[in-house]
Every structure is written in C-alpha cells, then in structure tokens.
Amino acid sequence: MAKLPPPPPPPPPGGSRGQRRSPKPERPASKNKREHEDSGPGDAAEPKPGFPRWGWWIIALIALGALLIPNFWPSNDGTSLSYTEFIAEVRDGNVAEIEVNKGSGKITGELTNGDSFNTTGGGEAGLFEGDQKFLEENGVVISYKAPSSNFLINLLGFMLPIFLIIGFLIWMQRRAAGQMGGVMSIGKSKAKAYDSSRPSTTFEDIAGYDGVKQEISEVVDFLRYPERFKEIGARVPKGMLLVGPPGTGKTLFARAVAGEAGVGFLSVTGSDFMEMFVGVGASRVRDLFQQARRMGKAIIFIDEIDSIGRKRGAGLGGGHDEREQTLNQMLAEMDGFEASEGIVIMAATNRPDILDPALLRPGRFDRQIVVPVPEAGERKAILEVHSRDKRIGTDVDMDTMAKATVGMAGADLANLVNEAALVAVRRGSKEIERIDFENARDRVVLGAQRESVIMTAEEKRATAYHEGGHALLATVLPNGDPLHKVTILPRGMALGVTWSLPQERHTYSKEYFEDTICKAMGGRVAEIVVFGHLNSGAANDLEQATSIARRMVREWGMSDRVGPQAWSGQQATFLGDDLMSSGREYSEDTARLLDEEISKLLTDQEQRAQEVLTRHRRGLELIAQSLLDHETIDGPTVARLIQQGMIESGESAPTLDDIVMR
C-alpha cells in the first residue's frame, strides 16, 4: 500500500547525463583536416548504356492505342436507319443489296439511288424471322459475312502468357541478385559516419561535468596536436571507456570530443556487430577500422559495448562463437595500429563488471571515465539549459528544484522540465510555475495519479493510518531522510505514498539503514496498533525492508554476530566464470546464522516501530484524520500534528525539535 523510495546502497560511482545547450552554428573545418570520403566499391561507377526505361512506356502506349483506336474510329457506312424504316424502304423497292454481319447483327446496304445505309436487325442471322423471305420476294440481294477479328487482340491473347512467364523469370533473377548483393555486403560495417564538420557538439554544449571534461580533454589535444606527444614520447590511451548508468550522456560526451577535435566520427552500437552467421561480426569490425583509417584522424564510438564484450566462456552453455569471434577481432584491431595514426576508440557501457578482462587491459580500453551523478550546482545548470526555450514563471527557483531532485540524471531532469510544461498546458497556464514543477516531480517520482481507482471507506481509512505510520516515523526518527509529502491518493501501483526527500550523501551509516527499515515497517505496525489485523498492503514495504536487511548482514558487515565478512548476492547466470563450481561460499551453520541475523534485524525494527507509534498514538490519529480530510499533506504539517498530539497526551509544550527522537 505504501511506497517508500528505497535508500540507495553505497553503489559504485554512478553517472549523470550531460545536457546539450542550444545548437550552435557549425564551424568550418580547418584546411589541414582531411575530409571524409566514402570510397566504397561502386560509388563512382557510371550508369551502363542500355534501352531507356521510359522507352517501355512508349511501347505500351502504342500497343494500347492500336487496340482501342479502331473501336472508336468513325465508320463510313452511310445513313443510319431504324429497322422499321429499313423494311419500309424494302417494301417501296428502294433497296437493292444488303450485307448482314452474323456476329453483331449489323446490316449495311445500298439503296437504288446509290446511297449507303446501315441498320441493326435481329434473330440468329441478323434478320427477324420471316424477313429474309420478304426481302427475297422484293428482289433484295442478301449476303452474309462472319465477324472480323482484331489481329492485335488475337496476337495479345497468344503472347500474354509468354510475357507473364518472361516477366516472372526476370523478377526472380533480380530478386536473387538483390539477395546475393545483401549477402555480399553483410560483412560491411553499419557505423554512421560524420565528417569533420559534424558533429558540431562541443564541451560548451554540456552543462557541468568539469571533471569529466578535464579528464578527456587530453584526447582532444592529442588529435589536434599529435606532435607535442611525439616529441616527449608520451602515448595517449588507445581506448577510453565511459561508464555510467543509462541516460548519463555518454554518447553526448563522445560526440563532444569529436566536435572539439574537429575530426571524423564513427558511431556504432554493439548489437550492430551481431548476426546469425558466424564471422560476420568480425568482418564488420575489420571494415569499421578500415573505414576509420581512410578518414585519417577519427574517433570510433561503440555504444553498449557490453553486448559483444562480455566475458568469454561464461554462463550456461559456455561461450558464443559469433560474439567471441567479434570480440577477438576487436582485440586484434586495437593492438594492430599505432597511437600515432590518430584513431581513438571510445566506448560506453552500463556494466563494466561484465566486460572481458582482456578488453580492459593497458593498451586497449585502459582508461575508464566515470560520468558521475550531477551535484546540486550541476543539476541547476542542467535545469537552466532545458528551460531556456520555455516560458518559466517568476516563482520558479531553480536552486530549490536542484536541491529537490537529488539522484536524478540529466535525462530525468530533461523529462522533469518537459513534464512541467505539459502540466502547465493542461492547467491552462501560459507560464510554467512552481506548482507545475511540483506536480511534474510527483508524477515522475511517485507515478501518475489514478483517478479511476475508487476505494471504499474502510480501505481509505486503513490507507490513511498506514501512510500515517510511515509519515510519523519519517518525522521522529533522526537518521533518515526528511519527510516531504504523504498522500492517500492512488499513484502508480500504490494506494498511498509517503515520500521522503533524499539528501545529498555518498555514504550511508548503519543507523540510516535501521531507521529506513523502521519507517518501512510503520504502515504494517500502524494497522496492527489501530485495527489489530493485517492486510496485503505492506507487501512492497516488507520487500524493501528485507532487501536492506539482507545486504546489511551479507554484504556490508553490519551484524555483530556475523562480523566483518561479506558474501555477494546471487549473480546472473551469464556472469559466472564457471557455473558448475559457483556453489554457496559458506556452510550450513553460516547460512543459518545469516538468516537469524536478518530475521532479528527486521523483528527489532518492527518492535521499535510499534513502541514509537504506541507512544505517539494521538499524533497518528491526527495525521490519519488530516489525510482523510485533505488527502495530501506535507512534512511540516505532519510535524505540527505530532506536536499537537504530544500536547494532548499531557506532555509539556514540546517544540518541533523535541519530537525528533535523538
């Protein structure tokens, strides 16, 4: 039912995405830079002479005209008479001779005065029954002719099947030729190439990250002034690995290096090397490096290199022939050229721990650059960059927003600004105000509000006490993150949410984790204290608390009985160096001890939460009632309600500082 932001365990240094400023005009390439020319086979081939394609259309139009024009051509058959008029002329003796077309029933003839005429008869022979004898009695000469056939139509009917067969064979031949061309080019690199004027991104387009810029600036100096390094005998790293979580701007940094150095840039992802045929990936690696050598000075950027750079021979079924051959070819190419060639390889990954050791040794990717999570000042700069083209209200304080977005990467901050703009539009405002940023942050962190969920009065009351228990403990416990907001409005997958605003910290104490577990138990314990029974609403709370307790005991050495020992958690199967030998690292007695310490830690914090909530029972009731009345209250309001509850319980004028259990 409740959703607490889990405390970030002491992770390896994380990352943040550097943000791009407003686009700058492209800088012309200097005269001494080599322009990229793709000299692939067939690019300069002249078209072969042959019958023009438009000629076939002319032939088709001529044939169609030959078929249709005769049908519309005016015939010189004389005066058109009705059949009644024709019979009257015969009766008067004015018809000398007629000709009857058996197919169309058309009658043409000549009058005694020499004029021609035509009419349409009936019956099988073109004349109505009994009319033939009448004509003969009146001296009319009758002749019959079979319907004339169109030679072109007859020829078309004969040649059409032949044309269809020939066309089908030509289509099959071209299709086979196209497939053969695709097979022959399957080993070509799929890298996107940019010349010396692109990308135009520079370090000035990235907000903050001065440390990262300084660390990779020597690559720019090497590509600009290689003679300086040659004179002193220095060697610039051939490969640089950008490490950081998703959305940290690793690709943007690589483009900025290429833009600063003014050299060609080849961008490719690790999955572009993978194919169903063994050896294709290795061929694409060779073609990629050949393309870079043709550019002279260039930067090769491989995004998500962990897709092809994983440890060889690890996981179920051993290795993967295609991936391992691709990795072997890349290792060989990185050893196969000198640093003086002016080619630098940059790669990005979220998981440096799963890369093959041979890939990280000196001489290959021998330098890892961590793109860190932005600090408060950097977050402010990123927010300002993304707010430049938006109409921001005067009540928006970027310093406050930067402090309230701890842990957000550059992509998260960009999404926050855009979400605030969307909220302002839905609200009908012409400016993005502070309330829009607040609502956008709630939507991004807590999830969208689910207005379609309708809770019963009993469920709403239970949710109010559940979230009230979290909020009360978040306020009175001294070592956790301060309470920011609590609501019983359904958001995301939760029926209610208690949000503690994380503080800027890099290490976490044992007391911090204990208070976090105690706060997670607050909702469950509040329901026990008030209602005397439980429901399924605390599932997420227990999952978070158990995860923290397990890591405290197993990994962080925060148990006196276990002592200074650490056992890592279960790793994914594909990361194992030897699956058959990756059994448990400790005995049954140690496993029992770990389980006992984890259980004891959770039980102690649950008992602690029960003692605190029992002591502040009146404050819990006031918080729950306020949630039922207002649905959402902030941290200072919760503190005042706890203070009021302490006064009503008989304590002598406690201050806001007194409510914190130090």
Phi, then psi, of 31 in degrees rounded to 5: -70, -25
Q: Are 402 and 501 in contact (CB under 8 A)?
A: no
SS (H, E, C) 277-340: CCCHHHHHHHHHHHHHHHCCCEEEEEECHHHCCECCCCCCCCCCHHHHHHHHHHHHHHHCCCHH
Spatial separation of the C-alpha atoms in residues 102 and 144, rounded to whole Å: 7
> Could you give the CA distance from residue 352 to residue 503 in angstroms, rounded to a whole number?
27
Residue 467 designated active-site: yes
For the CA atoms of 148, 152, 157, 160, the dihedral, rounded to the nearest 10 degrees, stands at 180
User: Distance between CA atoms of 100 and 104, rounded to whole angstroms?
Assistant: 9
d(CA 167, CA 89): 57
- Cα gap 248→575, rounded to integer Å: 24
DSSP 191: P
Residue with tokens 């701007």: 249
From residue 29, give the alpha-carbon distance in Å to each of 8, 197, 292, 618, 639.
46, 6, 18, 73, 62
Among candidate residues 467, 527, 597, 606, the one labeled active-site is: 467
CB 267 within 8 A of CB 192: yes
Measure the CA–CA gap between 450 and 461, rounded to whole angstroms.
18
Amino acid at site 209:
Y
CA distance 267 to 436: 38
Beta strands across the sheet bearing 264-269: 192-194, 264-269, 298-303, 343-349, 239-243, 365-370
- The residues, any chain, with a CB within 8 Å of residue 544's CB and separated by 6 or more, are 4, 6, 520
Spatial distance between the Cα atoms of 386 and 507, rounded to a whole number of angstroms: 30
The Cα-based distances of 449 to 404, 417, 495, 538 in angstroms read 20, 18, 10, 20
Describe the strand order of the beta sheet including 79-80 as a list of residue ranges.
Answer: 79-80, 116-120, 106-111, 95-101, 141-145
How open is the CA angle 110-112-116, to the nearest 5 degrees?
25
Of the candidates 289, 385, 295, 400, the one whose C-alpha atom is nearest the C-alpha of residue 336 is 289
Question: In this structure, are residues 21 and 249 in contact, taking their beta carbons and an 8 Å threshold?
Answer: no
Contact assessment for residue 262 and residue 385, using Cβ atoms and an 8 Å cutoff:
no
AA letter at 122:
G
Sign of CA dihedral 482, 487, 490, 491: negative
> Which run of H or of E encompasses 107?
strand 106-111
Residues 6+ apart with CB under 8 A from 402: 376, 377, 379, 380, 383
For the annotated catalytic residues, the residue numbers are 467
